[in-house]
Structure 1
Amino acid sequence: MTPVIETRSLTREFHVRTPGRRFGRTTVTALSDLTITVDAGEAVGYIGANGAGKSTTIKMLTGILTPTAGEVRTCGLDPMRRRRDLARRIGVVFGQRSQLWWDLPLRDTYPVLAAIHGLPTAEERRRTVELVDALDLGAFLDTPVRQLSLGQRMRGELAAALLHSPELVILDEPTIGLDVLSKAQLREFLRAERAARGTTLLLTTHDMSDIEHLCERVLLVDSGRLAHDGDLASLARTVGAKRVLVVDLATPHPRLPVLTDGAGAPLTVDHVGSEGGGLRHRFAFDTARTSAAAVLTAVSAHAEVRDLAIEEPDIEDVVRHVYSAGLSGA
């Protein structure tokens, strides 16, 4: 099966004016030697700091920019040569740009977009009803876009991008500025859309909870180069991020002895701290070296455990650690 996204040694350079020099130019490499493959039906998070190369990648995937070197295929097509054909097979949502007409209500916008994509009238009406219901747009279908709240407008944008049932949906910061409820509604809709249609999803965002809720795979780009390709758990392991076991004890124990395994050897675990005079303790551990069960057994040997919870590594901290440790250049 042909990948939905495929790049080989994809590179993009820009020539910018050198300050203080009338004719001076400096070459800036926005993306360097990017080789990735995304198969049909995958949900992939494409993350990185500002200026890492995410938007440049999207512009080349959609045919807006021409690569300086390398190859790119989107839905099996050359994005630059087949840009019009490609537009019928992809949907794009930019969190800070709009494809909606500012003075038109959504009800009048969707037929225009459907005509651009060549959808038959019956198909446009069926799909519009489906999206209006799924995204709860009915209450403001007749409201001009300029009068919509940000959350309403983003739901309208998503419906516009999916009106023609694209194979690939590219979302660039789709939840920026949204409240918790609006984010949850968009995420739930995208999960349902993927389940029903097998839609491929490429998501760029600074909101790591979007990645956690929607994506099984993460591509981390740093200074234009691919730094990580895998799931969130493997990204956390790359930087040695630890899980935290939180235990609530039946009686206060301000200080617990050194935790050991069944053979009496000290466990590789860090006591992060305690609360409530010793009723609650936190222990950080590396899953590659020990397990939550081993830590719990060791704690239970010294105190009665009333309750417990496991806190996963904070993904934002993991990404921050990647950059600060310079692992992407390793």
Structure 2
Amino acid sequence: MLAIDVQMLRKEFQVQQSRGGLKGAVQDLFKREYKQITAVKDISFQIPKGEICGYIGENGAGKSTTIKMLTGILVPTSGHIKVNGYVPFKEREKFVAGIGVVFGQRSQLWWDIGVVESFQLLKKVYRVSEADYKKRLDELVDRLQLSDLLSRPVRKLSLGQRMRCELAASLLHNPEILFLDEPTIGLDIVVKTEIREFLKSLNQRYETTILLTTHDLQDIEALCSRVIMLDDGRIIYDGGLEELKARWGKGKEVVLQFEHPTTLARLQELTLGLDVAWQLENELSAKVFIPYERANISEVLSRVVGVLQIQDIKINETNTDDIVREIYKSGSAEVKRLEIDQPEGVTIHA
């Protein structure tokens, strides 16, 4: 069953163009000029029930515009949307009962009243019964560690405390779909980890569908099996995170710590015929770069470990941030993998 179904979705805006100088300012008073901006350009995707999907892109790529259309805040220029079986902007009252929304830079809590009072107001907005509200609140307070925060005014909460309360507020009515727009922005690593763990457990326990937009790719790696990448209003990648790494990653770097001194020549001799690059850190430590599809990590390790005594092994994969940055530069994920750059001072031995 599909939680979200988007077909050829498009959103255009009319943006005023200001003319320069005093003369232009006077002209703008009487006759304004506008230009048309297309923020989302005929995108299509489907998200099954129970999936956690990352929705990423640079600033201005169209992420927030898409989320606003999916939540019924904006009306599409063209295309079709079904979220939880409803058209968001047409069936608003029924639709909002089944979704939760967290905007990292905007609050749904009332600034000057206690957190629990905001929750009680939201209970009435979502028409949650007293029994369901109490059961749900007790669970959220326990899972998100909110017991010491309920009586405090929102304005006296730290950013991390407020975000935990925002998550609770969006889940009081037990929605089937949760939209998260930059939920960990500005948070420290401890709070980010707590929120990620909570979202994973929420998905596992209730099969809550989560659509997550973020600039923090660690959120994506921690939570999402699938990622949709947007650039200039168009989808340039839609698939698994591991597939993205395999397609765009240059390879893996293996760091080896030896029990006894060795030489670069000895390491190259052991991997003769394999397309790998060795770099000797010192006589007890070396790195080997193993390109994707051009060498096999298990074969490299079996040749070395079978002959030399190893104290420690560490495997480093291509950084996801670097992969995404390269895709944005190219404007498409549907290209051949990047040519492998030979690290400085490294000899490729085949």
**Do both proteins adopt the same fold according to a TM-score greater than 0.5, normalized to the shorter chain?**
yes
Deviations 1:149-193 (A, max 9, x none): 111100000000000000000111111111111111111111111
CA 1:307–1:35: 2 relative to 1, 3 Å: same
Match for residue 279 of structure 1?
284
Match for residue 325 of structure 2?
320
How many residues end up aligned between the 2 structures?
325
CA 1:119–1:10: 2 relative to 1, 3 Å: same
**Match among 84, 90, 97 for residue 75 of structure 1:** 84
Corresponding letter in the other structure for 1:270: A
Single out whichever of 33-42 and 298-307 deviates more from structure 2.
Answer: 298-307
Q: What's the Cα RMSD here?
A: 2.0
Alignment of 1:1-16 (within 5 A): 1=1, 3-16=2-15
TM score, norm. by length of structure 1: 0.92
Deviations 1:7-48 (A, max 9, x none): 111111122123427433222221112110000000101111
Corresponding letter in the other structure for 1:283: V
Partner Cα distance (2:227, 2:283) in 1: 39
Mapped contact 2:253–2:290 kept (Cα < 8 A): yes
**Match among 50, 75, 82 for residue 41 of structure 1:** 50
Structure 2 residues not aligned, in runs of 5+? 336-350
- Secondary structure of the residue aligned to 2:301 is helix
CA 1:261–1:84: 2 relative to 1, 3 Å: farther
Structure 1 residues not aligned, in runs of 5+? none
Match for residue 300 of structure 2?
295
- What's the offset of the Cα at 1:235? 1.1
- Secondary structure of the residue aligned to 1:4 is strand
Partner Cα distance (2:77, 2:61) in 1: 17
**Match among 165, 171, 184 for residue 162 of structure 1:** 171
- Secondary structure of the residue aligned to 2:261 is coil
Mapped contact 2:276–2:288 kept (Cα < 8 A): yes
Alignment of 1:228-247 (within 5 A): 228-247=237-256
Mapped contact 1:8–1:72 kept (Cα < 8 A): yes
Match for residue 32 of structure 1?
41
Partner Cα distance (1:58, 1:90) in 2: 12
Corresponding letter in the other structure for 1:268: D
Bigger radius of gyration among the two: 2
- Secondary structure of the residue aligned to 1:159 is helix
Corresponding letter in the other structure for 1:227: I
Partner Cα distance (1:307, 1:256) in 2: 20
CA 1:48–1:254: 2 relative to 1, 3 Å: farther
- What's the offset of the Cα at 1:260? 7.0
- What's the offset of the Cα at 1:257? 5.2
TM score, norm. by length of structure 2: 0.87
Mapped contact 2:228–2:235 kept (Cα < 8 A): yes
Residue 194 (structure 2) pairs with residue 185 (structure 1):
yes
Single out whichever of 302-311 and 164-173 deviates more from structure 2.
Answer: 302-311
**Match among 271, 277, 282 for residue 270 of structure 1:** 277
